[in-house]
C-alpha cells in the first residue's frame, strides 16, 4: 500500500484508503470532495458520500461544508494555515484556475442542501423511489423501525402451534434447555442481521412414532419408580448410609439432599422430565463406581429401576434434541415465508428491506440499466466506514460502482475509506470478509498513517504491542502498519509532577501476580481478579484527579479533571461494576451504555411501589414498597414502623390517597404527589449514584404516563404492562434506552463499541482480557464458510462440526484483537491496560498478542488447525508468572521506554474529591399569584368517578378476564378488557364493505394474535362481526334503513378525538341542566336517570373536556355517532332487550356519555358544515352492544338509539361549552 497523498492522488478508478485510528479520515473525505468539486467540476448532488449512521452523516455534512467554506475564503486571501488547503490554493493560482474554482465553490455552497450525503439506508431509499419501475418497488410503503415486534408476533404464533398441544416432556425439556420464547428471540436476534445465512443441521428430526414410543416407555418406568419409592424409601435411605460408599459423594448431608430432591421431583405435578440433577446417585451403575475398596455396593430393585430410567432419559434427550433443532430450522423457514407476506399485506417495509430490494433489483437481468442510472446520477462516490459493510451492502456497491465494465470509458471514481482493524460491529451484520473481498477489486490501495490524536510516545507503545505478533489481526489480509505522529499533530502534553513518582511511560501495563492454590500455580478466576482491579482503577483515578486539583497533573496549561478520564469496558455489566466502585470512592462517573430502562433497579422498585398503591390495604405489598430504594426503609426501620400503630396507619392512609388520586386524576398527578410527599428526590440524590437513579425514576414516570394515555391503560393494566416490559426475554426497544445523566466533570464509562470514533486524554482498559465464551450444544454456532469465507453459515447440529467451531473461534479471536486496537487507540496521552494469568483468557486478545507460540491456522488441514488452537489454549493455562513477565518485558524493551510493566497496585485510601458546589446563601422568591385549582382537562371517565371505573384516554369498558373451561366455550368470545380492546381495534381497522373471506380470515388471525388470543377464537370473532355488519339500522328521521356494510371507508372516522372548552361544572348544575332539558323534551331519558345523577361525585371542574368517539359516519347526508359496547350482560338474550339496555345505559352513565359525544359532534358540524341544521343533518346516536346483536333475534336486540332534538343540543351547548368572546358578542347582538 502507498501512503495517501490527499493533494495529488488521482481522482479516478476504484480506490481503497485504509485509515489507521486518529489519522484524519473525515478530513481526507472532505478534501476529496473539495477536489472533485473544483478539479472535476462536479455538482454537490453528483458526489455520493455514504456512511452508516445518521449522526455520522450530519458530521460529514458539517465538515465538508466547512472545508468548502474555508477553501473559498482561502482563495480570497491567498494563504491559509491548513497545509493541504494552502498547497491546494497555491496550485490553483499557479494554474490560473482561481476564478473558476471560486465560482464552483460558491455554487457548491449555495446548492449544498442538495448534497448527496446519505446513510446506506437513505441512499437505497432514494434510489428505489427514483427508479421505482426499474427496481419493481411499491409506492407509498410505510417504513417502520421496530421490526422485532412483527417478527415476535410470528414467533408467538409458531410457539403456540408447536408447543401448546405438544407432549409435556417435550415442553418441559424445551423450557429447561432455553428453547423457550426468550431463547428463540435470542436465536432470531443472533441471525436477523444476516438475511443470506445458510443453515447446517444434522441429523434430521426423528419419526413421530419413535418419539411416542420413547416417551411411553419413560412414563411406564417413572410410574414404577413412584410406586417403589413409596414402598421402600426408608430402606433405600439406610442402604445409602451403610458405610460401603464413598463418603465424599454419599455423606450424610449429601444423601439427605439427594433424597429431598427426589421427594420433590416425584411429588410435583406435570411431567417428570428431565430428571433432577442428582438422580444418577440412585442408579446401580453410579453406586458400583462409588463403592469403597473391598466393599460390596448396595443392591436393591429400586436402584435397577433408576438405572433403567437414567438410560431412558439419555435416549429421550437425544430424540428431543433432534426435534428442538428441527423446530429451530422450521422457525427460520416460517419467518422467511410469513414475514414477507405480512409486510406485503400491510404495505410496510423494514429498513433492511431497502437494502435487500435494491440488491435484488441490481441482480436481475435488467439490473445493468439500474446500475447505469445510478452511475449517471452519481459521478463520484466516497464510502466512509467501509470496514463496517456487510454482504448485502457490498453487493450493491459492487454492482453499482466496482464491477469492471470495459464498455464504459468514463467510470465514476470511487473511494472506499475505512480501517479493517476497527471492524467491531459483527453483531450488527458487519462482515470483515466482505471488506477483504472488496480490497481485491480495487485499482489502487492507500494508507493513512499520520496520527493527529495521540502523543508520539503512546503511538510507539501501541505500535510495539501489535508488532509483538507476526500476524497480529489473525487474518493475513489485515496488515498492521505503524502509525506516525503527524507534523503539528498533538500539541498538548500531559504533565505529571509533584512528590509522587509517576512512571512517565504513556502505556501502563498492570500485571496481576500468580495465583497459588495447593502449592500449584493456577489461573486466577474472574471473580477473584475483579475486586482488586476495581480498587486499583479507582485509586489511580482518584490519585490523578487529586494531583490535578493541586496543579500537579496538567494537560497543556489546564488541570486534569474527571471529564478527561474514560474507562472502556466490554459489557454493560462491567460498566455498572466500574461505576459503583468509582461512586464508592466519591468520584463522579457517568455511563454511556445501551442499558434498557426496564432492566434497571428503579424499574423493579417502581413495580413494587405501584403494586402497593393498587391494593393500598395489603400490608405485605406496602412493606415491600417501603423497603425499595425509592422509600428507603431498612428491615429494622420497617419493623419499628409496623409496631407503631399510629405511624403505620398514617402510611396506609397515604397509599389510599395515592390510589384515589391515581383513579381520579391520572397516573402522572399521583406520581408527582408521591415524589413530593415521600421526598424521593432528596433521598435518591443523597446516594452516590443518585443522579442516575433519579433520572431513571423520572424517565419511568414519563414512559408510564405516556403508555397510560396512548394505550388507555388503567391501574391494573399499567402495572401488568410494566411487568411485561421487565421480562428479560422481551425484546428491548431503543426508545427505552437509559438516558444520560449529566456528564459534566464526570469520568466517562463507555463500552468499546460505543467509544469508536471518540478520544479521551486518559483511558483505562481494565477488562480487555475476556476470552472466548463457551458454546453449549444448544447454542447456534455462526461462522463463515466457502471459498475465501464468502458466506455465513449457522451450525445447529448436535454436536457442532469441529471445523465450524475452529472458524467461529478464529473469527471471535480476530474481533477481540480489533476491539483491543480500538480501545488502545482512544487514548491521547496515557493508557492503562490490565493483564495477568486469568482463567478463561486463553482466547483473549492479549493472550494471542503477547504469548501465542502457534499461529498456524491452515483450514485446509482441519485436524492440524484444531489441534494447534487447542494446544495454544492449553499452553496459556500452563504459563507461569515468570514466563508471562518475560513475554511482556520483550514487548516493553521493543517500545524503548513507552511501555511500563508493573504489578497491579495495591490501593491505599482513596482521597475523596471535595464538594466544589457553590456555597453562597440561597433565598426563595414568594409566590403571590392565585392558581385556579379547578381548571384542568377532564373526561367522561373523570366525571363518573366513584360510580364507574375511570381511565385515561378512550372510554372503554373493563371487566374481569375470562378463559374457556370447555371446548364449547370457544364459540363465544370471553368477557374482559382484553376482548373489548380486540373488538374495538378490529372494527376500527376493518373495511365494512370487505367481501373477500380470505382477507377477513387473515385479518381475524392477525388481530387475535396481536392481542394474545388463541386462534380458536376466530370463528366466534367473525360470527360476531358478521352479525354486526348485517344488522339493519333505522331511526335517522328519514324513514330509511341501512347496514354498516353499506358504509365506505371514506364516509367514516374511527376513534374521533375531540376537545371542547368547558364552563365551570359541578354535579348540581349538571343535574339541573338535565332536569331542564327533560322538561323541554319529555321522555328523553328513563326516570331513574335523575336518581343516578345523585351518585356522581366529581369535584368542581372548569377547562377542557376531551373524549374519543368510536365511530362517526355519514350516510344519505346524515351524520351519526356510534359506540361499540363489548359488555357481557349474561348468556340469556333477554339481557340485551331494549328495556334491559335502558337499565344498563342508566346504571353505567352511558346516557351522560352519549350526550357529551353528541354535543361534541353537534359543535363540530355547526362550525364545519355549511347550512347545518339538526333536523336535516344529525342522524342520531347508536350504542351497539355487540354480544347481543343477532339479526335472527330482531333489529332492536343489542341496539340502543336516540336522536336528540335541536332544542336539547342547543341547551347542552349553552349550558356546557365556554364560548369565546366573538361568540358571546354575536349572542348578545342576536
Q: What is the dihedral of CA 841, 845, 849, 851, to 10 degrees?
A: 0
* Residue 738 contacts residue 754 (beta carbons within 8 Å): no
The 3 state secondary structure assigned to 541-610 is HHHHHHHHHCCCEEECCEECCHHHEEEEECCHHHHHHHHHHHHHCCCCEEEECCCEHHHCHHHHHHHHHH
> What pLDDT does 744 receive?
58
pLDDT at residue 762 is higher than 90: yes
Listed in order, the ranges of the chain carrying CATH 3.90.320.10 are 935-1229
Listed in order, the ranges of the chain carrying CATH 3.40.50.300 are 2-141+351-448, 494-593+745-783+798-803+813-903
For residue 744, what are the contacts with CB-CB under 8 A and spacing of at least 6? 563
In order of 385, 1078, 1199, the CA distances from 1052 in angstroms are: 50, 31, 19
Burial of residue 902, with CB atoms counted within 10 A of its CB: 0-12 exposed, 13-18 middle, 19 or more buried: exposed
- Residue 497 annotated as lining a ligand binding site: no
Q: Which of 372-386, 655-669, 759-773, 938-952 has the lowest mean pLDDT?
A: 938-952
Superfamily of domain 148-346: Recbcd, chain B, domain 2 (1.10.3170.10)
> What pLDDT does 242 receive?
84
DSSP code at position 291: B
Helix (H, G, I), strand (E, B) or coil at 1112: strand
For residue 674, what are the contacts with CB-CB under 8 A and spacing of at least 6? 609, 613, 658, 680
Could you read off the pLDDT of 367-421 as tens digits, one per residue?
888 999 999 999 999 999 999 999 999 999 999 998 866 555 567 899 999 999 9
The 3 state secondary structure assigned to 938-994 is EEHHHHCCCCCCCCCCCCCCCCCCCCCCCHHHHHCCCCCHHHHHHHHHHHHHCCCCC
- Strand 791-795 versus strand 494-496 pairing type: unpaired
* Residue 127 contacts residue 136 (beta carbons within 8 Å): no
Helix (H, G, I), strand (E, B) or coil at 832: strand
Euclidean distance between CA atoms 458 and 1173, whole angstroms: 84
Euclidean distance between CA atoms 194 and 200, whole angstroms: 15
> What pLDDT does 1109 receive?
94
For residue 710, what are the contacts with CB-CB under 8 A and spacing of at least 6? 953
Euclidean distance between CA atoms 661 and 640, whole angstroms: 28
DSSP code at position 1189: -
The average pLDDT across 687-710 equals: 87
- Strand 494-496 versus strand 553-555 pairing type: antiparallel
Could you read off the pLDDT of 781-831 as tens digits, one per residue?
888 888 778 888 888 876 667 788 888 888 999 999 999 999 999 999 999
Averaged pLDDT score across all residues of the chain: 86
DSSP code at position 279: G
- Strand 565-569 versus strand 747-751 pairing type: parallel
* Residue 462 contacts residue 33 (beta carbons within 8 Å): no
pLDDT bracket for residue 1229 (50, 70, 90): very low
pLDDT bracket for residue 958 (50, 70, 90): very low
- In this structure, the number of other CB atoms found within 10 A of the CB of residue 592 comes to 16
Q: Which residue has the higher pLDDT, 757 or 873?
A: 757
Give the rounded percent of residues in the chain with a pLDDT score beyond 90. 53
The average pLDDT across 414-435 equals: 92
Q: What share of the chain is helix, strand, coil (3-state, %, to 5)?
A: 55, 15, 35
For residue 246, what are the contacts with CB-CB under 8 A and spacing of at least 6? 290, 291, 292
| Torsion 161-162-167-168 (CA) sign | negative
Q: Does domain 935-1229 have CATH number 3.90.320.10?
A: yes
> What pLDDT does 950 receive?
39
The 3 state secondary structure assigned to 418-453 is ECHHHCCCHHHCCCHHHHHHHHCCCCEEEEECEECC
In the Cβ-directed half-sphere of 305, how many Cα atoms lie within 13 Å? Answer: 16
Euclidean distance between CA atoms 1090 and 755, whole angstroms: 68
> What pLDDT does 857 receive?
60
The average pLDDT across 1190-1194 equals: 85
pLDDT bracket for residue 860 (50, 70, 90): low
Q: Which residue has the higher pLDDT, 273 or 923?
A: 273
CA-nearest of 619, 618, 562 to 586 is 562
Task: Tell which phi-psi region holds residue 1198, choosing left (phi > 0), alpha (psi between -120 and 50) or beta.
Answer: left
* Residue 936 contacts residue 1103 (beta carbons within 8 Å): yes
CA-nearest of 1132, 1136, 1139, 1128 to 1188 is 1136
* Residue 1124 contacts residue 1130 (beta carbons within 8 Å): no
- Residue 25 annotated as lining a ligand binding site: yes
> What pLDDT does 749 receive?
93
Partners of 451 in beta bridges? 485
- Residue 119 annotated as lining a ligand binding site: no
In the Cβ-directed half-sphere of 68, how many Cα atoms lie within 13 Å? Answer: 25
Helices (H), 131-180: 132-135, 147-163, 168-176
Domain 597-736 classification at class level: mainly alpha
- Residue 21 annotated as lining a ligand binding site: yes
Angle ∠(639,641,642) on CA atoms, nearest 5: 65
CA-nearest of 424, 731, 760 to 570 is 424
Listed in order, the ranges of the chain carrying CATH 1.10.486.10 are 597-736
- Residue 19 annotated as lining a ligand binding site: yes
The average pLDDT across 697-710 equals: 91
DSSP code at position 737: B
Out of 80-94, 192-206, 557-571, give the one with best mean pLDDT.
557-571
pLDDT at residue 90 is higher than 80: yes
**CATH number for region 494-593+745-783+798-803+813-903:** 3.40.50.300
For residue 735, what are the contacts with CB-CB under 8 A and spacing of at least 6? none
For residue 680, which phi and psi values (nearest 5 degrees)? -70, -35
**Count, residues in the chain:** 1230
> What pLDDT does 853 receive?
66
User: H helices then E strands: how many in the chain?
Assistant: 45, 34
Q: How far does CA 214 lie from the centroid of its chain? A: 41
Q: Which of 263-267, 561-565, 1095-1099, 1225-1229 has the lowest mean pLDDT?
A: 1225-1229
Could you read off the pLDDT of 975-997 as tens digits, one per residue?
888 888 899 989 998 999 988 88
- Residue 498 annotated as lining a ligand binding site: no
The average pLDDT across 453-467 equals: 94
pLDDT at residue 774 is higher than 70: no
pLDDT bracket for residue 193 (50, 70, 90): confident
In the Cβ-directed half-sphere of 382, how many Cα atoms lie within 13 Å? Answer: 27
CA-nearest of 1044, 1053, 1043 to 1161 is 1053
- Residue 24 annotated as lining a ligand binding site: yes
- Residue 1038 annotated as lining a ligand binding site: no
Euclidean distance between CA atoms 976 and 1222, whole angstroms: 47
The average pLDDT across 737-742 equals: 58
Four-way CATH pick for 2-141+351-448: 3.40.50.300, 3.50.50.60, 3.30.70.260, 3.40.50.2300: 3.40.50.300
Euclidean distance between CA atoms 816 and 426, whole angstroms: 11
pLDDT at residue 951 is higher than 50: no
pLDDT bracket for residue 139 (50, 70, 90): low
> What pLDDT does 1230 receive?
40
Listed in order, the ranges of the chain carrying CATH 1.10.3170.10 are 148-346
Amino acid at each position: 500500500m502507498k501512503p495517501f497523498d490527499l493533494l495529488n492522488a488521482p481522482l479516478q478508478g476504484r480506490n481503497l484508503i485504509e485509515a489507521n485510528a486518529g489519522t484524519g479520515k473525515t478530513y481526507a473525505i472532505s478534501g476529496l470532495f473539495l477536489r472533485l468539486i473544483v478539479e472535476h467540476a462536479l455538482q454537490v448532488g453528483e458526489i455520493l458520500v455514504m456512511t452508516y449512521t445518521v449522526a455520522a452523516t450530519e458530521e460529514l455534512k458539517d465538515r465538508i461544508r466547512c472545508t468548502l467554506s474555508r477553501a473559498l475564503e482561502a482563495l480570497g486571501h491567498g494563504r491559509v494555515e491548513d497545509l493541504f488547503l494552502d498547497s491546494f490554493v497555491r496550485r490553483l493560482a499557479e494554474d490560473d484556475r482561481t476564478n473558476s474554482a471560486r465560482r464552483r465553490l460558491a455554487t457548491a455552497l449555495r446548492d449544498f442542501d442538495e448534497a448527496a450525503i446519505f446513510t446506506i439506508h437513505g441512499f437505497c431509499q432514494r434510489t428505489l423511489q427514483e427508479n421505482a419501475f426499474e427496481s419493481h418497488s411499491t409506492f407509498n410503503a410505510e417504513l417502520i423501525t421496530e421490526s422485532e415486534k412483527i417478527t415476535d408476533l410470528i414467533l408467538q404464533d409458531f410457539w403456540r402451534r408447536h408447543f401448546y398441544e405438544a407432549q409435556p416432556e417435550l415442553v418441559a425439556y424445551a423450557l429447561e434447555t432455553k428453547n423457550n420464547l426468550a431463547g428463540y428471540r435470542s436465536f432470531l436476534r443472533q441471525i436477523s442481521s444476516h438475511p443470506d445465512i445458510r443453515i447446517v443441521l444434522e441429523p434430521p428430526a426423528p419419526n413421530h412414532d419413535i418419539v411416542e414410543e420413547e416417551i411411553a416407555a419413560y412414563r411406564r418406568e417413572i410410574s414404577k419408580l413412584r410406586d417403589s419409592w413409596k414402598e421402600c424409601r426408608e430402606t433405600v435411605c439406610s442402604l445409602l448410609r451403610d458405610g460401603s460408599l464413598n463418603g465424599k459423594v454419599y455423606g450424610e448431608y449429601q444423601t439427605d439432599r439427594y433424597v429431598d430432591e427426589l421427594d420433590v421431583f416425584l411429588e410435583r405435578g406435570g411431567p417428570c422430565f428431565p430428571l433432577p440433577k442428582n438422580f444418577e446417585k440412585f442408579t446401580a451403575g453410579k453406586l458400583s463406581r462409588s463403592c469403597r475398596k473391598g466393599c460390596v455396593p448396595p443392591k436393591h430393585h429400586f436402584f435397577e429401576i433408576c438405572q433403567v430410567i437414567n438410560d431412558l432419559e439419555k435416549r429421550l434427550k437425544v430424540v428431543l434434541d433432534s426435534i428442538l433443532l428441527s423446530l429451530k430450522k422450521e422457525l427460520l423457514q416460517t419467518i422467511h415465508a410469513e414475514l414477507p407476506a405480512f409486510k406485503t399485506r400491510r404495505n410496510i417495509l423494514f429498513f433492511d428491506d431497502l437494502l435487500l430490494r435494491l440488491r435484488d433489483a441490481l441482480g436481475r437481468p435488467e439490473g445493468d440499466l439500474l446500475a447505469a442510472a445510478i452511475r449517471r446520477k452519481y459521478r463520484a462516490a466516497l464510502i466512509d466506514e467501509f470496514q463496517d459493510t456487510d454482504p448485502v451492502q457490498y453487493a450493491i456497491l459492487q454492482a453499482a460502482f466496482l464491477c469492471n465494465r470495459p464498455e464504459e470509458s468514463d467510470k465514476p471514481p470511487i473511494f472506499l475509506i475505512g480501517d479493517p482493524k476497527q471492524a467491531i460491529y459483527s453483531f450488527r451484520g458487519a462482515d470483515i470478509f466482505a471488506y477483504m473481498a472488496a480490497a481485491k477489486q480495487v485499482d489502487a490501495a492507500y494508507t493513512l498513517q499520520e496520527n493527529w490524536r495521540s502523543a508520539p510516545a503512546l503511538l510507539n507503545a501501541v505500535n510495539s504491542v501489535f508488532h509483538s505478533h507476526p500476524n497480529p489481526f489473525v487474518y493475513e489480509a489485515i496488515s498492521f502498519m505503524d502509525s506516525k505522529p503527524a507534523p503539528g499533530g498533538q500539541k498538548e502534553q500531559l504533565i505529571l509532577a509533584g512528590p509522587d513518582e509517576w512512571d512517565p511511560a504513556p502505556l501502563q501495563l498492570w500485571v496481576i501476580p500468580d495465583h497459588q492454590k495447593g502449592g500449584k500455580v493456577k489461573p486466577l478466576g474472574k471473580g477473584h481478579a475483579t475486586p482488586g482491579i476495581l480498587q486499583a482503577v479507582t485509586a489511580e483515578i482518584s490519585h490523578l484527579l487529586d494531583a490535578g486539583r493541586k496543579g500537579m497533573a496538567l494537560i497543556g496549561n489546564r488541570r486534569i479533571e474527571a471529564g478527561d478520564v474514560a474507562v472502556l469496558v466490554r459489557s454493560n455489566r462491567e460498566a455498572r461494576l466500574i461505576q459503583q466502585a468509582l461512586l464508592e470512592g466519591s468520584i463522579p462517573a457517568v455511563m454511556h451504555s445501551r442499558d434498557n430502562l426496564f432492566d434497571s433497579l428503579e424499574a423493579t422498585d417502581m413495580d413494587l411501589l405501584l403494586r402497593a398503591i393498587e391494593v393500598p390495604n395489603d400490608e405485605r405489598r406496602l412493606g415491600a414498597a417501603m423497603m425499595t430504594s425509592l422509600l428507603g426503609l431498612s428491615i429494622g426501620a420497617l419493623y419499628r414502623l409496623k409496631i407503631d400503630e399510629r405511624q403505620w396507619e398514617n402510611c396506609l392512609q397515604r397509599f389510599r390517597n395515592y390510589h384515589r388520586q391515581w383513579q381520579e386524576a391520572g397516573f402522572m398527578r399521583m406520581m408527582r404527589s408521591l415524589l413530593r410527599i415521600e421526598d424521593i428526590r432528596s433521598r435518591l440524590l443523597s446516594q452516590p449514584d443518585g443522579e442516575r437513579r433519579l433520572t431513571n425514576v423520572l424517565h419511568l414516570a414519563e414512559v408510564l404516563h405516556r403508555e397510560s394515555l396512548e394505550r388507555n391503560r388503567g391501574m391494573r393494566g399499567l402495572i401488568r404492562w410494566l411487568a411485561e416490559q421487565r421480562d428479560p426475554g422481551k425484546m428491548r426497544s431503543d426508545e427505552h434506552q437509559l438516558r444520560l445523566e449529566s456528564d459534566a466533570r464526570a469520568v466517562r464509562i463507555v463500552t468499546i463499541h460505543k467509544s469508536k470514533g471518540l478520544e479521551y486524554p486518559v483511558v483505562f482498559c481494565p477488562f480487555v482480557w475476556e476470552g472466548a465464551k463457551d458454546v453449549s450444544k444448544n447454542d447456534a454456532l455462526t461462522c463463515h464458510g466457502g471459498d475465501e469465507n464468502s458466506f455465513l453459515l449457522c451450525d445447529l447440529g448436535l454436536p457442532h462440526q469441529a471445523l465450524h467451531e475452529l472458524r467461529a473461534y478464529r473469527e471471535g479471536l480476530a474481533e477481540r484483537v480489533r476491539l483491543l486496537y480500538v480501545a488502545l487507540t482512544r487514548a491521547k496521552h496515557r493508557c492503562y491496560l490490565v493483564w495477568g494469568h486469568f482463567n478463561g483468557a486463553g482466547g483473549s486478545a492479549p493472550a494471542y498478542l503477547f504469548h501465542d507460540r502457534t499461529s498456524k491456522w491452515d483450514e485446509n488441514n482441519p485436524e492440524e488447525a484444531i489441534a494447534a488452537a487447542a494446544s495454544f489454549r492449553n499452553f496459556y493455562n500452563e504459563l507461569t508468572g515468570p514466563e508471562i513477565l518475560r513475554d511482556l518485558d520483550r514487548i516493553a524493551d521493543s517500545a524503548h521506554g513507552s511501555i511500563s510493566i508493573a504489578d497491579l497496585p495495591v490501593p491505599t485510601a482513596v482521597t475523596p474529591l471535595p464538594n466544589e458546589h457553590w456555597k453562597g446563601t440561597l433565598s426563595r422568591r414568594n409566590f403571590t399569584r392565585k392558581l385556579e385549582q379547578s381548571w384542568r382537562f377532564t373526561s367522561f371517565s373523570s366525571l363518573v368517578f366513584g360510580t364507574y371505573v375511570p381511565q385515561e384516554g378512550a372510554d372503554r369498558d373493563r371487566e374481569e378476564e375470562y378463559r374457556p373451561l370447555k371446548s364449547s366455550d370457544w364459540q363465544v368470545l370471553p368477557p374482559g378488557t382484553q376482548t373489548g380492546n380486540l373488538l374495538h381495534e378490529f372494527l376500527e381497522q376493518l373495511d365494512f364493505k370487505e367481501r373477500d373471506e380470505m382477507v377477513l380470515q387473515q385479518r381475524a388471525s392477525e388481530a387475535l394474535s396481536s392481542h394474545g388470543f388463541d386462534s380458536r377464537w376466530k370463528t366466534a370473532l367473525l360470527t360476531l362481526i358478521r352479525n354486526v355488519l348485517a344488522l339493519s339500522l333505522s331511526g335517522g328521521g328519514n324513514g330509511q334503513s341501512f347496514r354498516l356494510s353499506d358504509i365506505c371507508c371514506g364516509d367514516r372516522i374511527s376513534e374521533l378525538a375531540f376537545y371542547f372548552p368547558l364552563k365551570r361544572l359541578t354535579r348540581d348544575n349538571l343535574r339541573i341542566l338535565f332536569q331542564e332539558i327533560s322538561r323541554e323534551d319529555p321522555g328523553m331519558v328513563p326516570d331513574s336517570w335523575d336518581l343516578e345523577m345523585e351518585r356522581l361525585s366529581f369535584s368542581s371542574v372548569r377547562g377542557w373536556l376531551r373524549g374519543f368517539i368510536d365511530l362517526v359516519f355519514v350516510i344519505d347526508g346524515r351524520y351519526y355517532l356510534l359506540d361499540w359496547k363489548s359488555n357481557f350482560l349474561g348468556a340469556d338474550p333477554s339481557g340485551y332487550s331494549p328495556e334491559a339496555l335502558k337499565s344498563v345505559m342508566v346504571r353505567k352513565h352511558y346516557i351522560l356519555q352519549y350526550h357529551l359525544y353528541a354535543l361534541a359532534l353537534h359543535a363540530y358540524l355547526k362550525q364545519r358544515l355549511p347550512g347545518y341544521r339538526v333536523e336535516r343533518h344529525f342522524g342520531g346516536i347508536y350504542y351497539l352492544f355487540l354480544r347481543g346483536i343477532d339479526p335472527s333475534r330482531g333489529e332492536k336486540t343489542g341496539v340502543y338509539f336516540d336522536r336528540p332534538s335541536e332544542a336539547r343540543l342547543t341547551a347542552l351547548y349553552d349550558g356546557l361549552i365556554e364560548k369565546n368572546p366573538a361568540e358571546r358578542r354575536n349572542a348578545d347582538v342576536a
